[in-house]
Amino acid sequence: MNAREEILGRVRAALRTARIPAEPPPPPPSSPLESAPSHEWRARFAAELRALGVALHEEASDAAVAERVVALIGTRRLLAWPDATLPPAVAARLAQLPAGQRLDLAAPRAALATAEVGLTAVDAAIAETGSLLLIAAHDRPRTPSLLPPLHVAIVRGSDLVPTLRAALAKLRHALPSAAALHRITGPSRTADIELQLTLGVHGPGALAVVLGP
Amino acid sequence: MSAERPLAGDLAREPRPRVVQLFPTCLVNELVPEVGRAAVELLERAGVAVELPAGLACCGQPAWNAGFVAEAKAVARGTIERLAATQGPIVVPSGSCGDMLVHQMLELFRDEPRLAATARVVASRVVELTQFLAAVAGTFHLAAVPGSFRPAVSRGADAGVDGNSPAPGETGTSPPPGRTRVAYHPSCHLVRGLGVGGEPVELLRRVAGVELVPLEKSEECCGFGGLFSVKQPELSGAMLDAKCRALEASGADVVASCDSGCLLHLAGGLARRGSSIRTCHVAELLAAALPSAPPPLSQAPASPPAAAPPP
Amino acid sequence: MSDSLFRARVRAALADETLHVALGRATAQLQARRATAFASLQDPAAVRARARAGKLAALRTLDLQLEEFERRLVANGITVHWARDAEEACATIVAIATSRGCRRAVKGKSMASEEIELNAALEAAGVEVVESDLGEYVVQLDRDRPSHIILPILHRTREQVGRIFERELGVDWTPDPAALARIARERLRERFLAADLGITGANFGVVETGTLCIVSNEGNVRMSSSLPRVHVALLGIDKLVPTQDDLDAALQVLARSATGQQSTVYVSLVNGPRRRADATPPEEGPDEVHVVLLDHGRTRTLAGETAEMLACIRCGACLNACPVFQQVGGHAYGSIYPGPMGSVLTPTMRGLADHAELPQASSLCGACKEACPVGIDLPRLLLALRRATVAEQPIAPTLRLALRAWAFVMARPRLLRLLRRVARVVAPHLARRGWLRRAPGLLSGWTAHRDLPLPAAQSFDEWWATRR
């Protein structure tokens, strides 16, 4: 018998004697945030980011977002999502960066790993936990939010959702065809040594969110 | 698995039970009868008649916890059958034996429908002593615990052979008369098994002269665990040491609990360390605080802190 | 593992003062953080109930769930393998590596891979493996074993970690956790960039979507599942949750229970290999994703009384809450699954005969059940294993005899009264001031650490009789 059949056989045999408590169904999921007005989502998102040690920059216009992004990048080497997945104002502003500052996504990985700032948009932002959701796709590369020591994420007001459940519902059409979805909640961290909080072990040690209108 | 049990609040409602059955437990019966006597005194002062069902010994928990089913059943069967033959609430001065009667019996007799039914009926009537007392708190007075109060469980730890005179060298650490610093040890099966948390503390708070001192990591197990203390002496001993250190750091004169097993374990450990901290069952402390001449019930406080009396 | 080995490890752990201090501090902090994190939920009990319901629902029809999960995985482009035991799982993963010419593997933290001792198997086949979780990296450098399922080096001080780095990596000694993490980041970054095989576990497998859910705080799991061209995820057959809603509840309680966070920093939901290798530039991500579904004794845990144990989400809360674990730490258990959950998992998965002592290593205080975010009744399961031990395993004849004699007496109240009178005559000769300092036989375990009281001069029932 092959492993699959044998394991399934063992499972069926075990289930005949397995004592699994029968219990009444739990209450349906609910979050007060889901029924709250969206300006509360924004306030909660901001509060959660602060608690996570994420630098939050709230900007009132697309142009201000673009200026803030460029200011955060400064003169550092940049690994960014393709223009098509960034807000047009940001893409336009990035085009003015000195030649060579923005790395070519087609470059070898060793070159990508030299980036000092990663720049992405997001596919959703979760107010309840201050999380960013990024789909992994050909036009949404994984490395900008992973390799550089600083990750700058652009969140539009329309990206905000109250909870993870709401986010998954929002993305339900995009998800099945995506290879992966990543939820990012704050900078990379560890507490493995004496529970001492240390930032930036493998992923970015700093995360900045530019929150647009 | 939880049976239909009377909420403690139901006990405070009229008509109050007039008669209760006392299951003293084997430890109290054989080793610390003072606890049983204190329970009787308290219950009677609360206006209920106490009955002691004949032929009770043990709930069977030591064997059940060690995995000896046949032995546990041999002991438990008689106990639940004798209890089932009585009427009214079954009051138990122990969280651990209470949990055995309320939860574990149903598991023990899961494969014997007749006894399982008996166990369910018994479980539905069981109430731990302080749970009962807190529910009927409006019916009795607690005054002050006397300064000379000497809990009985510690008769060896702080007493000479006669059981009364203080041990040599202890006078310096004696509390001032009329004030006893008490650390409360919430025993595991009482808190996590029966869900009895605040009741013993509420009762102790009503006693003048008792100063409750906080105990670090109070809800952590003292390491007794029945046969665990015998079969895993190193582990149990290490847990006991940790608890004794916390007790010593609390500045308590007395550690009070609702479980005589934990108390004997703690008393044995404290005695071995030469500590002057004494152990006593919550019932003993409360009974010591009963006024010698009880006021008539009509003078009972109108709204006692523990439970609102029924209209 | 024989009883004496277990007792010896317990004694050694108890004698280690550094370990004791480290354990006390860490477990207290972890418990406090967990309590705070749950307090941020509007209705913690409801979320726990949802998480529990999802895990139990998957177990009730586990055969069907596994078949459906496999169908969904395959539809997502994932290759599915089944492994009956450790050997088969190792052989499967080695075969994937060698057939694809993979020589350099990076691994995310995976207890299942520890369980099957995957690293040794890969290295024997010429595949270099490096652990990328900081704690696991230290364990690997030190040729040690993890002592906690969430915090592998809970038993190590920062000074000790500094020594290990100094010795194994040739860097200057430092006790600074931030500096140590920086060193690990640099060393491991090279390995990530060069790796051609990424190995991870998975915290959950979502049946309805065929998705793997893998969490981490450091980012190493994202690296392992994103950078190498082949990703292998090893997961026990107990890791399934039926729906995305079940996943949501499970994630909410996992991070809170494990580290006191609302959410782990990274949650990777893996649906399969990269979809557009042909795009310009090509999509990032692995070309192949393999899932290895592992039994290795889990179906033995599923049978009978202990089935509920498979609802475990490996958060470690029961370890931190357990007063026994707090005294001895993880290594004393002699299994990579320590604490209360390990005391059920190890004897059921690996056999009671070699691990009969583990279910005894509990005072049944219930702190584990209280801490468990999916409400596993660990004391009930430990009791079931004790019953199985008495029924199936050799038991010390003195213990059996003592229990039988005890039951015989306790079931006969009149005999008890007679014996009580005998004890009153005999015991005082052995006692000092009302306490026994050394008792014979079984009771010597008690008197090794505490004194034993004598029977009362007048029992309660005797007093009751005089009163009437």
From first to last of its 213 residues, chain A has per-residue pLDDT tens of 799 999 999 999 999 999 999 999 999 998 889 999 989 999 999 999 999 999 999 999 999 999 999 999 999 999 999 999 999 999 999 999 999 999 999 999 999 999 999 999 999 999 999 999 999 999 999 999 999 999 999 999 999 999 999 999 999 999 989 999 999 999 999 999 999 999 999 999 999 999 999
Query: What homologous superfamily does CATH list for A38-189+197-211?
Result: NagB/RpiA/CoA transferase-like (3.40.50.10420)
Distance from CA of B227 to the nearest CA of C (A): 9
Contacts of C10 in chain B (CB under 8 A): 232, 234-235
Q: Distance between CA C384 and CA C306 in Å, rounded? A: 7
Decide: helix, strand or coil at residue C254: helix
Lowest mean pLDDT among A76-90, B254-268, B297-311, C18-32: B297-311
Contact A20 C308 (CB under 8 A): yes
Nearest Cα to A138, choosing from A110, A178, A184? A178
Return the amino acid letter for C192: F
β A189-190/A180-184 pair status? unpaired
Contacts of A138 in chain C (CB under 8 A): 274-276, 279, 281-283
What value does the mean pLDDT take over residues C7-29?
91
Nearest Cα to C285, choosing from C273, C268, C270? C273
> C residues 71-90 near A, CB within 8 Å?
81-84, 88
Q: Which pLDDT score, from 0 to 100, does residue B167 have?
A: 38
Q: Is the peptide bond before C281 cis (omega within 30 degrees of 0)?
A: yes
Instruction: Outline where B260-307 has alpha helix (H).
Output: 260-273, 282-288
pLDDT at C348 over 50: yes
Q: Are residues C69 and C195 in the same domain?
A: yes
pLDDT at B299 over 60: no
pLDDT at B219 over 50: yes
Please tell me which residue, B212 or C436, carries the higher pLDDT value: B212
Q: Which pLDDT score, from 0 to 100, does residue B304 have?
A: 35
Q: Which pLDDT score, from 0 to 100, does residue A14 have?
A: 98
What tokens were used for B251?
């500045």
Sequence-ordered list of residues with C-beta below 8 angstroms from that of A172, at least 6 positions apart, any chain: none
Q: Which pLDDT score, from 0 to 100, does residue C217 have?
A: 97
Mean pLDDT of chain C: 94
Q: Which pLDDT score, from 0 to 100, does residue C290 have?
A: 98
The Cβ-side half-sphere exposure at B199, using a 13 Å CA radius, reads 25
pLDDT at B153 over 80: no
Sequence-ordered list of residues with C-beta below 8 angstroms from that of B193, at least 6 positions apart, any chain: B95, B96, B98, B99, B102, B103, C366
Taking the Cβ of residue C406 and every Cβ of chain B, the question of whether any pair is shorter than 8 Å is answered with yes
- Greatest distance between any 2 Cα atoms in chain B: 60
| Best to test chain C binding among A79, A193, A199 (most C CBs inside 10 Å) | A193
B181 pairs with which residues across the strands?
A: B211
Q: Give the angle A23-A26-A32 at the CA atoms, nearest 5°.
A: 170
* Element of type H or E holding C11: helix C3-15
pLDDT at C128 over 80: yes
Specify if C216 maps to a domain.
Answer: yes
pTM of the model: 0.93
Contacts of B68 in chain C (CB under 8 A): 390, 400, 403, 407
Per residue, the 3-state secondary structure of B160-221, as one string, reads: CCCCCCECCCCHHHCCCCCCEEEEEECCHHHHHHCCCCCHHHHHHHCCECEEECCCCCCCCC
Specify if C79 maps to a domain.
Answer: yes
Q: Which pLDDT score, from 0 to 100, does residue B141 have?
A: 81
Specify if C452 maps to a domain.
Answer: yes
| Domain count across chain C | 2
pLDDT at B46 over 60: yes
Taking the Cβ of residue B278 and every Cβ of chain C, the question of whether any pair is shorter than 8 Å is answered with no
pLDDT in tens, C351-365: 999 999 999 999 999
Q: Which pLDDT score, from 0 to 100, does residue B8 have?
A: 52
Q: Are C281 and A105 in contact (CB under 8 A)?
A: yes
R_g (Cα) of chain C, nearest Å: 26
Mean pLDDT of chain B: 84
Domain boundary among C296, C314, C331: C296
Q: Distance between CA B59 and CA B287 in Å, rounded? A: 25
Query: pLDDT tier at C124 (50, 70, 90 boundaries)?
Result: very high
pLDDT at C448 over 80: no
Residue A138 backbone dihedrals phi, psi, to 5 degrees = -65, -30
What tokens were used for A71?
């200011």
Q: Distance between CA B210 and CA B285 in Å, rounded? A: 9
Specify if C146 maps to a domain.
Answer: yes
Decide: helix, strand or coil at residue B21: strand
Q: Which pLDDT score, from 0 to 100, does residue B298 have?
A: 42
What value does the mean pLDDT take over residues C182-205?
97
Q: Are B89 and B6 in contact (CB under 8 A)?
A: yes
Q: Distance between CA B7 and CA B135 in Å, rounded? A: 9
What value does the mean pLDDT take over residues B139-147?
77
Q: Which pLDDT score, from 0 to 100, does residue C456 have?
A: 87
Query: pLDDT tier at B275 (50, 70, 90 boundaries)?
Result: very high
Decide: helix, strand or coil at residue B73: helix
How many residue pairs from chains A and C have C-beta atoms closer than 8 A?
254
* C365, burial (CB in 10 Å: exposed 0-12, middle 13-18, buried 19+): buried
Q: Which pLDDT score, from 0 to 100, does residue C427 have?
A: 77
Every domain range in chain B assigned CATH 3.40.50.1860: 142-288
Fold held by B13-134: Rossmann fold (3.40.50)
Q: Which pLDDT score, from 0 to 100, does residue B212 have?
A: 96
Q: Which pLDDT score, from 0 to 100, does residue C414 have?
A: 87
Decide: helix, strand or coil at residue B6: coil
Lowest mean pLDDT among A179-193, B150-164, C92-106: B150-164
Q: Are A135 and A171 in contact (CB under 8 A)?
A: yes
Containing structural domain, residue C450: 405-467
pLDDT in tens, C244-291: 999 999 999 999 999 999 999 999 999 999 999 999 889 999 999 999
Domain boundary among C278, C296, C314: C296
The beta-carbon neighbor of C193 closest among A6, A113, A195 is: A113
Nearest Cα to B158, choosing from B279, B23, B296, B283? B279
Query: pLDDT tier at B13 (50, 70, 90 boundaries)?
Result: low
Specify if C29 maps to a domain.
Answer: no
Query: pLDDT tier at B152 (50, 70, 90 boundaries)?
Result: low
What tokens were used for C244?
């995305």
Q: Does domain B142-288 correspond to CATH entry 3.30.230.70?
A: no
Contact C284 A4 (CB under 8 A): no
Taking the Cβ of residue C427 and every Cβ of chain B, the question of whether any pair is shorter than 8 Å is answered with no
What percent of chain C clears pLDDT 90, i.e. is strictly above it?
85
pLDDT at B165 over 90: no
Q: Which pLDDT score, from 0 to 100, does residue B9 have?
A: 52
Q: Are residues C78 and C220 in the same domain?
A: yes
